[in-house]
Amino acid sequence: MQASLAELEAALGYCFTAPEVLVRALTHRSLANQHASGSSGGAAVPGGDNERLEFLGDAVLGLVVGEALFLTHPEWREGELTRVRAQLVSRQHMAEVAEAVGLGDHLRLSRGEDRSGLRSKGTVLSNSMEAVIGAMFLDGGLDPVRTFARRYVMGEVAEHLARELRSGAALGNYKSALQEHLQASRSGTPVYKVKSESGPDHRKRFLVEVRLKPAEGEPGKPLARGTGSTKKHAEQDAARRALARLTAAAAKAGDVPADLPGEQQS
C-alpha cells in the first residue's frame, strides 16, 4: 500500500502528511461493508469509506474552479461562469481526470466489486476523484487543490470552453474543440467510425471510435471511444474523451503531444 500511495501522490503532485486520509479517500463503501460484516481478514479500514470525503471534495472543487473562472474571466456574467463551471466539474469530466492520474488502479474495493469491474466505472471514478480532492483539502488546504485543478481539471479544456462561449457556439462542441487542438499541433485530422450499435430502435446505443489520421492511406491511431443515443452524441463523447486524454498527456510530458492508446470500452 505504501508504494502504491507514493505512486498516486506523484501523479497528484501532492505528498500527504497524513496518508491515512488518502487511504480513506480510496476506500469504496463495498470494502468498508466487507470489513464491517467480518467477511474479510484484511487490515481495518481507517475512518470508514470515502463518501463523506466525496461530499467535501465536491464542494471544494466547485469553489476552486469557480474562483479560477471568476479571476480569469472578469468579463463573464453569472450565467456564463455557471455554464463553464458545470462542464468542468461534471461527472464525465471528473471521471476523465481520474483516468489521467490512474486513480482506478489505487481504489480499495471488496473482492466481489473488484471482480465485477467496478474500479473502471465512470461514476466510481468521478466520486473517488472528488473524495481524493476532499482529502487533499483536509491535509493541505486549498493550495494543493488549486494546483491540481489547474493542471488536470481546467487546463486546455477550460480554454476550449471559453473559446466556444466567445464564439456563441453551444458549450460541449467537443468535435470542433478536438479538431482545433489537432490543427494547432499539426497532428492530423480526427476521423470517426461507428464500431457497434445495440439496443432496440427506441433506445439505441452507438459506440464510436475517433482516430487520428495523419495522411491519406494510413489507418490512423485510435484516440478514444464514446457512446451515445445517437451517432452525433457518440461522436461528441468520443471527441470529449480524446481531448481530455490529449490534454492530460501534454501536461505530463511538459506540453509535448504524445501518442495515445485507444480506449477500451464495451
pLDDT, tens digit only, all 266 positions of the chain: 545 889 999 999 999 999 999 999 999 887 755 555 554 444 444 458 899 999 999 999 999 999 999 999 999 888 889 889 998 999 888 998 998 899 998 998 877 777 777 788 888 999 999 999 999 999 999 999 999 999 999 988 888 788 777 766 667 678 888 888 888 888 888 999 999 998 876 677 899 999 988 666 666 789 999 998 788 888 988 998 898 888 777 777 765 444 333 343 33
Three-class DSSP labels, 214-229:
CCCCCCCEEEEEEEEC
Three-class DSSP labels, 9-46:
HHHHCCCCCCHHHHHHHCECHHHHHHHHCCCCCCCCCC
Among 99, 113, 130, 139, the one annotated catalytic: 130
Number of structural domains (the chain) is 2
- 91-115 burial: b if 16+ Cβ within 10 Å, else e: ebbbbbbbbbbebbebbbbbeebee
**Residue 179 within a domain:** yes
**Residue 225 within a domain:** yes
- 192, containing H or E segment: strand 189-198
Burial class (CB in 10 A: 0-12, 13-18, 19+), 76: middle
Domain that holds residue 30: 2-167
Note if 58 is an active site residue: yes
* CATH code, domain carrying 234: 3.30.160.20
**Residue 261 within a domain:** no
Q: Are residues 116 and 58 both part of a single domain?
A: yes
Full-model pTM = 0.64
Q: Are residues 127 and 214 both part of a single domain?
A: no
Q: Are residues 6 and 62 both part of a single domain?
A: yes
Using CA atoms, how far apart are residues 211 and 28, in angstroms rounded to an integer?
A: 34
Q: Are residues 139 and 184 both part of a single domain?
A: no
Note if 130 is an active site residue: yes
Nearest to 60 by CA among 121, 145, 124, 144: 145
Among 58, 96, 156, 235, the one annotated catalytic: 58
Q: Are residues 27 and 118 both part of a single domain?
A: yes
Q: Residue 167: CB partners within 8 Å, gap ≥ 6? A: none
Q: Are residues 210 and 86 both part of a single domain?
A: no
Nearest to 125 by CA among 26, 58, 248: 26
**Residue 258 within a domain:** no
Q: Are residues 20 and 123 both part of a single domain?
A: yes
Nearest to 244 by CA among 88, 124, 84, 97: 97
